[in-house]
Amino acid sequence: MANYTGELPLASAPTLKLDHPTPKEKLEMWGENWKNWGSALSLQDYIERETHLADIPPTRDGGVTHWILTDPTLPPDARPVLSCCESLRRRTFVSLPSGEVREGIVHGIGSVFSAPLYRGRGYAARMLSDLGPILNTWQKEAGKSHFSILYSDIGKKYYTKLGWLPFASSHVSLPPAASPATNGGNADKAEGVKLLYEEDLKELSSCSYHTGLLYHDLASPAREIHVQQTLPPKTPPKIHGAISTGAPGSRVRIVFSRVFYGPLANAKSGNTLYILRLVVEDETDTDENAQKLKSVLQVAQAEAKEWELESVAAWNVSDVVKGLLKRTGLEYKLVDRENDSITSLMWYGDGQGDSASVEWVGNEKFAWC
């Protein structure tokens, strides 16, 4: 990326502004952040992945917007990218105190990055301070934006000062396991469950709002398939979840994604199978539901073992699910995150917009950006 040859401007300089990168600047940005986030891939594979993810159903046609903080007095491709990020537009529903439910959009901020030369100068904070109010009305033709979100990997204080307040950030963690219920770890022969493939996600998306959220955010399966095509000798995954057998309205289902942060079978990589969405359709704490939950989670554990992942994680599970977990007999632990993936929200409506006044429903991994 282009560098200043003179003294760097103050982050508070009124001359700095938000803009959108050119194709060349975008490639240079990806080349820089690959050094921090792309260790599981070669540079070429990383850039190919990012290019691919920018042109899938959830991101095309304005679904993703790339932002940079720069000096507008210099021409494109010769100006410095002091900080950069992206915003992802998603569908959302807000239930008001009156009981009215309104559909709208939400912008999720991700990939906040500054190259080493520009770090420690407040450029990222300036970029986000300018961006927060803009997202209130950005792409308003697609719907009303009630709030914006981001996920902090640097604790709770930094983004709170910028207006994104922290919400519940916990998860259930289960170890990989070849369980008896999946016939020694062979998930294809799991009993009492139906495995979910890509075509099943499409079918589920037409059933209800809850399942519709799943297919709307298929960026995660798309990401994992692209990554695993570059990780021989594995072939791209076909299984994306599991649903217990039985009548609609009485089932338990999960959709998951394998996330690779580093080399396979390396404990330091932190590679994880994330449960994007976990639904107990009748929301009752019964022995029958506990067995259904156990069966689908054992599919996830078997897949984690097959792909040499460190753990299975499900974000912010409900109290009902916590009760069911106790009945399953599975080994698990509850983790309250204090430093990474802190779910954070900037509210654009009336009131404080904090966790005491806003209930974030569906605060699960599928919403991550």
pLDDT tens for residues 230-256?
Answer: 555 557 888 999 999 999 999 999 999
Shared domain for 21 and 148, answered yes or no, is: yes
**Residue 1 included in any domain:** no
**Residue 278 included in any domain:** yes
Say which range, 78-92, 205-219, 253-267, 324-338, has the weakest mean pLDDT.
205-219
74 phi/psi in degrees, rounded to 5: -105, 150
**Residue 138 included in any domain:** yes
- Residue 134, token pair as written in the block: 């803009």
The pLDDT, as a whole number, for residue 179 is: 63
The pLDDT, as a whole number, for residue 187 is: 53
Structural domain for 136, as ranges: 17-169+339-367
* Sequence letter at residue 147: F
Shared domain for 33 and 118, answered yes or no, is: yes
**Residue 10 included in any domain:** no
**How many domains does the chain divide into?**
2
- Residue 4, token pair as written in the block: 């200043």
Shared domain for 116 and 156, answered yes or no, is: yes
CATH at residue 128? 3.40.630.30
**pLDDT over 90 (residue 350):** no
337 closest CA partner among 172, 220, 174 = 172
Indicate the pTM of the whole model: 0.87
State how far the alpha carbon of 283 is from the alpha carbons of 225, 290, 328, in Å: 32, 11, 16
**pLDDT over 50 (residue 341):** yes
The model's pLDDT over 279-330, given as tens digits with 9 standing for 90+, comes to 999 999 999 999 999 999 999 999 999 999 999 999 999 999 999 999 999 9
**Residue 4 included in any domain:** no
**Residue 327 included in any domain:** yes
Shared domain for 330 and 222, answered yes or no, is: yes
**Residue 196 included in any domain:** yes
Distance CA 19, CA 24 (A): 14
**Residue 271 included in any domain:** yes
Q: Strand (E) positions, the chain?
A: 17-19, 64-70, 83-95, 101-113, 145-152, 165-166, 170-174, 193-196, 241-244, 252-259, 272-280, 311-315, 333-336, 342-347
Shared domain for 65 and 103, answered yes or no, is: yes
Shared domain for 63 and 209, answered yes or no, is: no
The model's pLDDT over 189-233, given as tens digits with 9 standing for 90+, comes to 567 899 999 888 877 765 544 434 433 443 445 555 555 555 555
Return the SS3 of 32: helix
